[in-house]
Structure 1
Amino acid sequence: MSAAAELTLPQAADALNASQRFVAGLLQAGEIEHQGEDGDLRISASSLLAYRRRDDAERRRAADELLVADQEAGMPQGR
């Protein structure tokens, strides 16, 4: 996906492996840049990619925090 591309709502949802309703909520919350509304809605691919990077980083941070908490509690580490 080219960072300069613009996507439709269904394309953006597919790229995030999420529902269109979830992506619409991200747009309304200002998490992803877009232009237009309804049938003319276009989503910035670069903004979508930036959101995915932020979300991935947040998930890794949360998993790391859980791992540290487990280690501090003496939980056995599984593989």
Structure 2
Amino acid sequence: MWVYGSDPDEPAGPKPGHDYVELMGGPLDGLLLDVTGWDPQEIVDGALLMSEHGAFGPTGRSDYVPDPADSGRFVWVGDAP
């Protein structure tokens, strides 16, 4: 699996000892998001992630929130400029 925001020179996939959530739906569907070291409130808040493939192009962001049915996933709720 690919990790959102990983350096292209790094090997693909998760790193041992890191915590990840899977992004579901939207332009980042299927990617992993590294939440290692995130405060619990940050995880509750979700993530507004840069995504050139969303509705607003290269300057846009995609909004992902925790899936209430699965703590290992964030689900897409829309795009923002």
- TM band (smaller chain): under 0.3
Higher relative contact order (CA 8 A, sep 6+): 1
- Superposition TM-score, scaled by structure 1 size: 0.24
- Superposition TM-score, scaled by structure 2 size: 0.24
Could you say which structure has the higher helix fraction?
1
Could you say which structure has the higher strand fraction?
2
Of structures 1 and 2, the larger Rg is shown by 1
